[in-house]
Amino acid sequence: MIYQATPAENFTPLLVAGLMIRPLPTAPLDRLLSYIARRIQDNHPAILERLRPLAGTRFLICPTDLPYEIELVLGEDRVDCHLRRSHQPDTEVTAANVTISGSFLSLVDMMDGKQDGDGLFFSRSLTVTGDTEALLTLRNAVDSDDIDLRAEILARFGPLKTPAEIFMSAGDRLYHRLARDMSVISRAITGPLSDRCEDLEQENQGLRDRLGRLEQTSVKTRNRLQVLGRKIAS
């Protein structure tokens, strides 16, 4: 299980952002989201218990800097999570009870328990419309246990053999893709919100720093995974 710890470090929100910013297939990410939802459902019963009063509630999570939205639907004993392209005119969309909008990183950091949602709201980094009580319940429920998004995502890559390969190839592709996507991310962030330039400049720098660190560790990981892959093959 040596591969688990190190790649976890690599699985930053930015990587996911990189995946999401790609204009094309939503299917793999959609499956990943469904998987995360199921993991939370199975491994955090206390959260599910707290969410029970919300059965039937539909949340729409809109990362303002990405061309996707995440739809979260709560059932009696289950959580369904789906990805879709923003503002698709040709699809029938059931209206959400609650919409949360904010930068992708704010949303992930809040989910991860790294940033305070109220603080983000006070600073106007988050926008909320719809059923405020449902949102509060969701926030409190998610915050009531420790969810490690990275670990949950990594666990997706299951038994030892396939994951190494998946991860290796994914990591490789992602890394190359990211360099290109960075400019898309910057454009997405700075374009529509040019009046908040200063804040965003900082955020941008943060992203670049993260990318720099990612670049370093990704090379190491790739090497390690190649070694691991050879071991498994032999």
Partner 1 sequence: MTNRTPTTKKLELVCPAGTPAALRVAVDAGADAVYMGFRDETNARNFPGLNFSVDELAEALDYAHERGVKVLLAVNTYAAAGKGDPWITAVDNAARLKVDAIILADVGLLDYAHRTHPELRLHLSVQASASNAATINYYAREFDIRRVVLPRVLTVPEIRAINQQIDIETEVFAFGGMCPMAEGRCSLSSYITGKSPNMNGVCSPASAVSYVQEGRDLKTNLAGFTINKFGPHERAGYPTLCKGRFSTNGDPGYLFEEPTSLNVTNILPELIEAGISALKIEGRQRSKAYVREVVQNFRKSVDAALSGERLIIPMDNLTEGGHNTTGAYNKKWM
Residues binding partner 1 (CB under 8 A): 46, 50-51, 53, 109-110, 113-119, 121-124, 127-130, 132-133, 135-141, 143-146, 195
Measured from the CB atom, the residue of 43 and 216 that comes closer to partner 1 is: 43
The DSSP symbol for 95 reads: P
CB of 117: closest distance to partner 1 in angstroms? 6
Name which of 155 and 193 has its Cβ closer to partner 1.
Answer: 193
| Separation between Cα atoms, residue 70 and residue 33, nearest integer Å | 9
Min dist. Cβ of residue 17 to partner 1 (A):
20
CA angle in degrees (0–180, nearest 5) for 31-33-34? 65
Q: How far, in whole angstroms, is CA 120 from its chain's centroid?
A: 17
Contact 62, 103 (CB under 8 A): no
Which CB atom, from 97 or from 221, has the smaller least distance to partner 1? 97
What are the angstrom distances between the C-alpha of 59 and each of 46, 83, 130? 20, 12, 9
CB of 131 to partner 1, least distance (A): 8
Q: Which is nearer to partner 1, 42 or 195 (CB)?
A: 195
Q: Which tokens belong to 216?
A: 């370093």
- Identify whether the C-beta of residue 111 lies closer than 8 Å to the C-beta of residue 149: yes
CB of 219 to partner 1, least distance (A): 31
Between 139 and 177, whose beta carbon lies closer to partner 1? Answer: 139
The minimum distance between CB 47 and partner 1, in angstroms, equals 9
